[in-house]
């Protein structure tokens, strides 16, 4: 097999290389070593230079310039397009906004096959096999990925990174393209100060679609009050306008690690699990016993949450009184 | 402003997913519009109502998509297009994207909206695949889409609650995460009424070669862990939760 490049698209969180990117680099090296390929990391913005200086990659391409300081779909895609070449064996990107945005479009532009929502990538007898989580986490698909040019998007947290791996990649600079059709007007930082910070709470009473009606949020508020916790939620509750975005747990919301995460009426879509699976103790209540939330919860019940919330609040209040 | 909304239907996850010989058995499943496509349609209808636009909705004929299209018309879409051909339920997203892209090349759309994802996006999300095939500007994980002066403004969500506001020249294609309001409901009676008076335009689609994946098998995952289950007795569940909180010394008083 001809030597090719495994390209990892890097992301940064709060100025540091994102954990999800470190995970990609760890697996990229495993695959590259076994298949006789090299690893290239592509990072964006002038601040990225320090972040990739010591990662375990053979080459680091720094896309520099003001137009890539913040994620920008058009400039990022065009810059990556210039990095890809005939010897690209695999492009790995996390299943974040950037991955959702660029993975499929790069694959289509380059006419490469793509596997989305990967949770595992292993070489089996020289064939790269991806496990993809589909149908809301209810099914897995096992798919062969040709190492002759393919794109994979990987769900963060799917495997651990190896912090002991260090390297001295050859740094190559590439000027960022200017946007032609898409103008970044402003970045809106995460809401803070106007509401409680759910990442600081010891106990989260988190509600999902099972809350059914905004009037039922009062039950969650009363339970949170009785239990000494804070109400958080999954995406559909925010999309319905029932709770503010500052309360949202998951991929596009907050990542939380409370002492207790009480998931009420939350099915456990992969995007939600991404934001809460590392909580110390997860108790899930959902009337669908097949709900994926039970696969990450420590304790579970199929009780009706609309009955449970007031009953639990009453017991807690009576106990305290 | 002409807006085209790309829609597809997917298996209803309320049903049990049956796998036979490593393949998802689709024959007896109920299909529903992908929930994110519904969000895209709602956002298009809100733009139409608030800022003025013609809303077209398009779907590929992989089964009974007529009800989905008539429902879109009943909700307020101006025209419905069905891309017809010899297409099976197992059409891949790459094939769908190719058919949608071919249709859009002659549709003169200013703005194309579709769901940010669907539950069966094994080989990529439609938004990115169609945008890549057409070479048009695009963004996904988008909400709050507005149009003004021939441009499109929208919010793209990053992670952790961070967001960015963009302005795009047309034509543009956006993968919608959520509409500004929950998707509207229409009665079955209204859909039936539209079925009698409304029309679906059929457009021929031709499948050509697209990158394919060798899927070894589909299977129900065996969870590495599973919750210790307490059943459905409310009192018992409440007592168990209190006991755990006591063990962790998290109860007040």
The pair of structure tokens assigned to A103 is 């993975």
Question: If you average pLDDT over residues B211-238, what whole number do you get?
Answer: 89
pLDDT digit string (tens) for B83-119?
Answer: 999 999 999 999 999 999 999 999 999 999 999 999 9
**What residue of A is the nearest CA neighbor of B224?**
A295
- Check pLDDT > 60 for residue A91: yes
Q: How far is A249 from chain B (nearest CA, A)?
A: 9
- Does the beta-carbon distance from B153 to A182 stay under 8 Å? no
DSSP run (H or E) holding A136: none
**What residue of B is the nearest CA neighbor of A288?**
B14
- Top residue of A14, A93, A94, A108 to mutate, by most chain B CBs within 10 Å, is A108
* A146: Cα separation from own chain's centroid: 24
Lowest mean pLDDT among A53-57, A109-113, B245-249: B245-249
To the nearest 10°, report the CA torsion of B167, B171, B175, B176. Answer: 60
The shortest CB-CB distance from A136 to any of B13, B160, B164 is to B13
DSSP run (H or E) holding A152: strand A151-154
- Cα–Cα dist B42/B176, whole Å: 10
Question: If you average pLDDT over residues B131-156, what whole number do you get?
Answer: 96
- Check pLDDT > 70 for residue A1: no
- Check pLDDT > 60 for residue A193: no
The shortest CB-CB distance from B229 to any of A107, A228, A301 is to A301
- Check pLDDT > 90 for residue A190: no
Return the SS3 of A60.
Answer: strand
What local confidence, expressed as pLDDT, does residue A320 receive?
65
Question: If you average pLDDT over residues B71-76, what whole number do you get?
Answer: 97
Q: What is the CA radius of gyration of chain B?
A: 21
> B171 in the Ramachandran plot: left (φ > 0), alpha (ψ -120 to 50) or beta?
beta
- Does the beta-carbon distance from A307 to B234 stay under 8 Å? yes
- Cα–Cα dist A184/B125, whole Å: 23
Rounded to the nearest integer, the mean pLDDT of chain A is 92
Cβ proximity of A185 and A213 under 8 Å: no
Contacts of A107 in chain B (CB under 8 A): 124, 128-129, 132, 211
- Check pLDDT > 80 for residue A2: no
What local confidence, expressed as pLDDT, does residue A192 receive?
61
Q: What is the sign, positive or negative, of the torsion defined by CA atoms of B219, A145, B96, B109?
A: positive
**What residue of A is the nearest CA neighbor of B184?**
A240
Q: Quick check: pTM over 0.90?
A: no
List of residues 6+ apart from B149 with CB closer than 8 A? none
**HEC readout, chain B:** CEEEEEECEEECCCCCCCEECCEECCCCCCEEECHHHHHHHHHHHHHHHHHCCEEEEEEECCCCCHHHHHHHHHHCCCEEEEEECCCCCCCCHHHHHHHHHHHHHCCCCCEEEEECCCCCCCCCCHHHHHHHHHCCEEEEEEEEEEEECCEEEEEEECCCCCEEEEEEECCEEEEECCCCCCCCCCCHHHHHHHHHHCCEEEEECCCCCCCCCEEEEEECCCCCCCCEECCCCHHHHHHHHHHHHHHCCCCCC
What local confidence, expressed as pLDDT, does residue B26 receive?
87
What local confidence, expressed as pLDDT, does residue A124 receive?
94
- Top residue of A74, A105, A224 to mutate, by most chain B CBs within 10 Å, is A105
- Does the beta-carbon distance from A117 to B121 stay under 8 Å? yes
Enumerate the H helices of chain A as residue ranges: 19-35, 48-52, 73-83, 97-110, 217-227, 235-239, 270-276, 293-296, 305-320
What local confidence, expressed as pLDDT, does residue A194 receive?
63
pLDDT digit string (tens) for A172-189?
Answer: 999 999 999 999 999 988
Confidence of residue A318 (pLDDT cuts 50, 70, 90): confident
pLDDT digit string (tens) for A10-69?
Answer: 999 888 899 999 999 999 999 999 999 999 999 999 888 889 999 999 999 999 998 898
Q: How far is A62 from chain B (nearest CA, A)?
A: 21
Contacts of A311 in chain B (CB under 8 A): 234-235, 238
Confidence of residue B221 (pLDDT cuts 50, 70, 90): confident
- Check pLDDT > 70 for residue B180: yes
pLDDT digit string (tens) for A122-136?
Answer: 999 999 999 999 998
Contacts of A182 in chain B (CB under 8 A): 137, 139, 166-169, 172
- Does the beta-carbon distance from A100 to B123 stay under 8 Å? no
- Cα–Cα dist B37/B96, whole Å: 14
What local confidence, expressed as pLDDT, does residue A224 receive?
95
Tell me whether residue B32 is exposed, middle or buried, using C-beta atoms within 10 angstroms of its C-beta: 0 to 12, 13 to 18, 19 or more. Answer: middle
* Chain A with chain B: Cβ pairs closer than 8 A: 296
Contacts of B131 in chain A (CB under 8 A): 104-105, 108
- Top residue of B121, B229, B238 to mutate, by most chain A CBs within 10 Å, is B238
What local confidence, expressed as pLDDT, does residue B27 receive?
84
Contacts of B156 in chain A (CB under 8 A): 71, 73, 97
- Check pLDDT > 80 for residue A191: no
What local confidence, expressed as pLDDT, does residue B174 receive?
98
Cβ proximity of B141 and A169 under 8 Å: no
> What is the spatial order of strands in the sheet that B228-229 belongs to?
A230-233, A203-207, A260-264, A281-285, A299-301, B228-229
- Cα–Cα dist A245/A269, whole Å: 17
- Does the beta-carbon distance from A104 to B132 stay under 8 Å? yes
Question: If you average pLDDT over residues A160-164, what whole number do you get?
Answer: 93
What local confidence, expressed as pLDDT, does residue B201 receive?
97
What local confidence, expressed as pLDDT, does residue B249 receive?
86
Contacts of A211 in chain B (CB under 8 A): none
Contacts of B97 in chain A (CB under 8 A): 108
Task: Tell me how crowded residue B210 is: count the other CB atoms within 10 A of its CB.
Answer: 19
- Cα–Cα dist A3/A232, whole Å: 49
Confidence of residue B248 (pLDDT cuts 50, 70, 90): confident
């Amino acid at each position: 097999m001809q030597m090719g490049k495994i390209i990892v698209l890097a992301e940064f969180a709060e100025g540091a290389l994102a954990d999800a990117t470190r995970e990609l680099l760890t697996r990229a090296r495993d695959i590259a070593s076994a298949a006789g390929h090299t690893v290239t990391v592509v990072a964006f913005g002038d601040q990225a230079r320090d972040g990739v200086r010591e990662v375990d990659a053979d080459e680091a391409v720094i896309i520099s310039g003001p137009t890539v300081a913040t994620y920008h779909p058009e400039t990022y895609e065009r810059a990556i397009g210039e990095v890809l070449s005939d010897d690209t064996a695999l492009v790995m990107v996390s299943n974040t906004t950037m991955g959702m945005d660029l993975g499929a479009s790069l694959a289509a532009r380059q006419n490469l096959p793509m596997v989305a929502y990967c949770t595992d990538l292993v070489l089996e007898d020289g064939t790269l096999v991806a496990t993809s989580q589909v149908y809301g986490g209810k099914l897995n698909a096992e798919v062969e990925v040709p190492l002759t040019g393919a794109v994979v998007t990987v769900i963060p947290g799917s495997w651990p990174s190896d912090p002991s791996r260090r390297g001295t990649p050859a740094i190559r600079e590439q000027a960022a393209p200017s946007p032609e059709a898409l103008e970044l007007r402003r970045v809106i930082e995460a809401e803070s100060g106007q509401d409680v910070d759910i990442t600081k709470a010891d106990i989260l009473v988190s509600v999902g679609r099972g809350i059914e009606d905004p009037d039922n949020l009062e039950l969650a508020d009363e339970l949170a009050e009785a239990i000494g916790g804070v109400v958080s939620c999954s995406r559909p509750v925010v999309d319905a306008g029932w709770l503010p975005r500052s309360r949202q747990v998951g991929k596009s919301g907050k990542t939380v690690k409370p002492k207790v995460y009480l998931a009420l009426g939350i099915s456990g879509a992969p995007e939600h699990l991404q934001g809460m699976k590392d909580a110390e103790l997860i108790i899930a209540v959902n009337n669908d016993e097949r709900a994926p939330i039970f696969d990450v919860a420590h304790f579970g019940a199929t009780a009706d949450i609309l009955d449970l919330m007031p009953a639990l609040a009453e017991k807690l209040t009576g106990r305290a009184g | 402003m002409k807006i085209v909304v790309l829609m597809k239907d997917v298996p209803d996850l309320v049903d049990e997913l049956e796998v036979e010989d490593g393949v998802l058995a689709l024959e007896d499943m109920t299909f529903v519009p992908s929930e994110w496509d519904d969000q895209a349609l709602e956002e298009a209808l809100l733009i139409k109502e608030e800022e003025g636009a013609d809303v077209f909705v398009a779907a590929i004929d992989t089964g009974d998509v007529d009800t989905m299209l008539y429902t879109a018309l009943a909700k307020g879409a101006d025209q419905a297009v069905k891309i017809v051909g010899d297409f099976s339920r197992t059409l891949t997203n790459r094939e769908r994207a190719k058919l949608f892209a071919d249709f859009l090349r002659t549709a003169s759309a200013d703005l194309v909206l579709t769901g940010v994802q669907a539950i069966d996006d094994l080989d990529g999300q439609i938004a990115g695949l169609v945008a890549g095939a057409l070479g048009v500007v695009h963004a996904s994980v988008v909400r709050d889409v507005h149009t003004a002066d021939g441009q499109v403004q929208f919010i793209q969500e990053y992670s952790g609650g961070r967001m960015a506001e963009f302005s795009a020249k047309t034509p543009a294609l956006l993968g919608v995460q959520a509409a500004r309001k929950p998707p509207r409901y229409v009665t079955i009676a209204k859909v039936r009424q539209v079925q009698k008076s409304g029309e679906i335009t059929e457009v021929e689609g031709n499948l050509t070669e697209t990158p394919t994946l060798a899927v070894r098998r589909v299977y129900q995952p065996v969870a590495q862990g599973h919750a210790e289950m307490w059943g459905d007795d409310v009192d018992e569940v409440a007592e168990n939760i209190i006991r755990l909180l006591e063990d962790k010394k998290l109860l007040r008083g």
